[in-house]
Structure 1
Amino acid sequence: MTSQTEPTPEDVVHAAQALHALTAIPDTSMQWSNTADPTQWTALHTIEHISDALLFYSSQVARRAQVRLPVLRDGREAPASEHIDNVLSAAHVLAALLRDLGDQRAFHPSGTADAAGWAGMAVTEILVHGTDAARAVGMFLRFPEISCARTVSRVFPWIDTSLGSPPELLLAVTGRTVVAGVHSDPDWWWQSAPLTEWNGLPARRDVKPGWS
C-alpha cells in the first residue's frame, strides 16, 4: 500500500489542476503551435500527450496488465482548453483506479509498478510535459510542492533532496532545468517498482519511447 511519504492518487489530481493556468492562453492563439522543447511536439500536442499517457496508465492499471497494451486515443482534433480539461478528467480516472489497486501491481516498461509508482510517473508526466507546453506559450506553472516531494523521493530515489526545492529537482532530473549536483540524463527513467526492489542505481531507459 502507498505510505504517506509516497505519491498518492490525490497527487495526480493536484498535478493536473496545476495545468489550469494554461487556459489563460486563448484557443485561437498561434502560441499553441510553438514547439514545446525539448520535445519535437507543438504545445497543443504536448498537452494532448499528457491525457494520452494518463489514459494509457489507466488501462494498464484497470486490467492489471502484464504486458504493454495499445494506447487509448480518439484521434479527434480539439482546442487547447478541451485538451487541458481532458488531462484533469484522465487524472481523476487514474486516481480512482489507483485507489482500488491495493497491493496489486501492473506492467509499465520501466517496471511492474505499484500504486505509488504509477502516481509518481503520472505526476512527472503531467508537470514535466506541462512545463514544456507552458514555456512554449510563455506561461509559468505553479507546482504542488508536496506532490513533487513525494514523487522525487519515490520514482527518483537516487536524487539528493537537499540540493533544491522539489519542483526544481523534478525538472532537473528530467532535463528541464539545471540544479548543481543533479545529473540530467537524456535517458532518464523511473524507479516504478517498489523501492524494496531498487538496485541503488539511477534508472535509465532501455527501450524506445512508445509515443509520437
Structure 2
Amino acid sequence: MSRSAETGSARPPVTPDDLDLAVRLAVDALREAPAGAWEGMAGSLEWTCWETVEHLSDDLFAYAVQLGPRKPPLAGEVPFLWESRRPGGPANAIHADREAGPAGLLQVLEASGALLAAMVRTKPPQTRAHHGFGVSDPEGFAAMGIVETLVHTHDLARGLGLAWTPPADLCARVLTRLFPDAPAATEPWPTLLWATGRAELPGRPRPTAWRWDGTPRA
C-alpha cells in the first residue's frame, strides 16, 4: 500500500514552488553559519561543509541540465565533466570561487536551485530524462532536488552547529512522491531522514542502503 493510500488522500503534487521554498529555507539557515566553520566535516559525510554545498549545488544543476535538451537523454547523463578536486572529495561540475567566501558559495547554491525550478516550470510534464535510479519526469526531478536540499542541509547543520527542521508538509509531499512505501504513521521529517539512511525510527533501524523511486506517477 502506498503512503498516500495509507493516509487516505490523493497524492499531493510536488511543485517548483516547493523546490524554491526548500532552497530558500536552506540558504537562510546556512547564512547563520560561523565564517570559520566551513572547512569542518558535514555531519557523517566525508566532505567538508564547503564541499557539501558545492555537491548540493551540483546536484541541482545536474538535474536541471538533464531536462534541458530538446530530447533529454534516457540512457545516460548529459556529458558535463564531473571531477573531484581532492582524493575523496565530491565529483562536481560546479565549484564555487573560494575568493567569494561563504556568501558566494550560497549564491551558487541559490542559483543552481533556481535553474532546476525554472526547468521544471517550463518543461512539459510528459518529458522524461535519465537518472541513475531510473527515468523520471520534471516533477520527479523537482522532488529529487528537494530531498537533496533537505537532507544535505541536515548534514551541513550538524557540521556547522545550526538548527534545521524543514516544514512537515514539504517533507510529506516528497516522501509520497519518491518513497511511497515509507511508514505513514511517523512524523514526515524523521521519516525522510530514515528513508535516506540518516536516522532510526521506532522499531526500524537506520537503513544501510537506500534509494528513491523516481518513476513517473499517474
TM range (shorter): 0.7 to 0.9
Cα offset, 1:187, TM superposition: 2.5
TM-score (norm: length of structure 1): 0.82
Query: Where do residues 11-90 of structure 1 align in structure 2 (5 Å cutoff)?
Result: 11-19=18-26, 20-27=28-35, 29=36, 31-63=37-69, 64-66=72-74, 67-69=76-78, 70=80, 71=82, 72-74=93-95, 76-77=97-98, 78-90=100-112
Unaligned 5+ segments in structure 1 are 197-212
The CA distance in 1 between the partners of 2:73 and 2:110, in whole Å, is 23
Instruction: Name the CA distance, whole Å, in 1 between partners of 2:57 and 2:133.
Output: 19
8 Å Cα contact 1:106/1:113 also seen in 2: yes
Cα offset for 1:183?
5.3
User: Against the structure 1 CA distance between its residues 125 and 145, is the aligned structure 2 distance closer, same or farther, given a 3 Å change threshold?
Assistant: same
Deviations 1:140-186 (A, max 9, x none): 11302222111001101110121x22111111111222212445333
Alpha-carbon distance, 1:4 to partner: 6.7
Pairing partner for 1:150 from 142, 167, 173 = 173
Superposition RMSD on alpha carbons, in Å?
A: 1.9
Greater alpha carbon shift after TM alignment, 183-192 vs 71-80: 71-80
Equivalents in 1 of 2:103, 2:200: separation in Å? 30
Amino acid at match of 2:97: R
Cα pair distance change 1:74/1:36, threshold 3 Å:
closer
How far did residue 8 of structure 1 move? 1.2
Q: CA deviation at 1:10?
A: 1.1
Distance change in 2, residues 1:76/1:62 (3 Å): same
Preserved contact between residue 18 and residue 144 of structure 1 (Cα < 8 Å): no
CA deviations on 1:27-76 (whole Å, 9 max, x unpaired) are 3x1x2111113210011111111111100111101122221122432563
CA contact (8 A) 2:197 2:209 kept: no
1:10 aligns with 2:31: no
Q: Structure 2: which 5+ residue stretches go unaligned? A: 1-9, 83-92
- Flag the structure with more relative contact order, 1 or 2, with Cα contacts below 8 A and sequence separation at least 6: 2
Alignment of 1:176-195 (within 5 A): 176-182=198-204, 184-195=206-217
SS at match of 2:111: helix
Task: Report if aligned partners of 2:194, 2:207 keep a CA contact under 8 Å in 1.
Answer: no
Runs of 4+ in 1 over 3 A off after TM superposition: 181-184
Instruction: Read off the aligned partner of 1:48 and give its amino acid letter.
Output: E
**Equivalent position of 1:200 in the other structure:** none
Identity, in percent, stands at 30
Which residue type is aligned with residue 21 of structure 2? Answer: H
Contact 1:6 1:153 in 2 (8 A): no
In the alignment, the residues of structure 1 paired with residue 163 and residue 44 of structure 2 have an alpha-carbon distance, to the nearest angstrom, of 16
Query: What is the alpha-carbon distance in structure 2 between the residues aligned to residue 26 and residue 34 of structure 1?
Result: 11
Distance, in Å, in 1 between the alignment partners of 2:134 and 2:50 is 29
TM (norm. structure 2) is: 0.80
